[in-house]
Amino acid sequence: MQFEGTRRSGQAPNLTPLIDIVFLLLIFFMLTAHFVRDESIAIQLPQAETAVSREDEAAVVVMLDTDGRIHLAGNIIEVQKLEAALRQALQGRSKKWVTLRGDRASDLGNAVAILDAARKAGAETVDVVTEKP
């Protein structure tokens, strides 16, 4: 009587189904995840009938709250130091864009001071963010 021993094959286990499942899970999570950009301060944007939707990551964002405080890169900055801070933030960028996100109840004088400081700092474009009613 002759017994066959267990055969050892030189084949590796088939990983194709496992790889397929991993890719399907990756696609599922990429499609179901939503990415929200949280604001550091609560701002009620002014409304405009002609508002255009545009998200631009290349722009330097300046925020103006209801108390007249100016926020740049998460820090509160005085209006006298804003021009120098904007010049430093715009340095080395190919697109020198500044975006102003101001509360509708904020003072117009502060908004004009921000626009003026941005122009003096060398900004090519200054956008004011609004929302459609």
Among 40-44, 78-82, 83-87, the least confident range = 40-44
Residue type, 107: D
What confidence category does residue 23 fall into, taking pLDDT thresholds of 50, 70 and 90?
very high
Looking at residue 54, what is its pLDDT?
A: 62
What confidence category does residue 22 fall into, taking pLDDT thresholds of 50, 70 and 90?
very high
What confidence category does residue 105 fall into, taking pLDDT thresholds of 50, 70 and 90?
confident
Tell me the C-alpha distance between 102 and 105, whole Å: 8
Residue numbers of the domain that contains 92: 60-128
pLDDT at 49 over 60: yes
Looking at residue 18, what is its pLDDT?
A: 92
**Sheet with 75-77, side-by-side order of all strands:** 75-77, 70-72, 60-64, 97-102, 125-128
What confidence category does residue 26 fall into, taking pLDDT thresholds of 50, 70 and 90?
very high
Does 45 reside within a domain?
A: no
Does 19 reside within a domain?
A: no
Does 124 reside within a domain?
A: yes
pLDDT at 38 over 60: no
C-alpha distances in Å from residue 78, one per residue of 18, 61, 113: 57, 15, 11
What confidence category does residue 131 fall into, taking pLDDT thresholds of 50, 70 and 90?
confident
Q: Based on the structure, what is the number of domains in the chain? A: 1
Does 117 reside within a domain?
A: yes
Distance of CA 67 to the CA centre of its chain: 24
User: Residues 59, 127: contact at Cβ < 8 Å?
Assistant: yes
Q: Say which residue, 132 or 60, is predicted with more confidence.
A: 60
Does 29 reside within a domain?
A: no
- Find the CATH number of the domain harbouring 114: 3.30.420.270
Does 123 reside within a domain?
A: yes
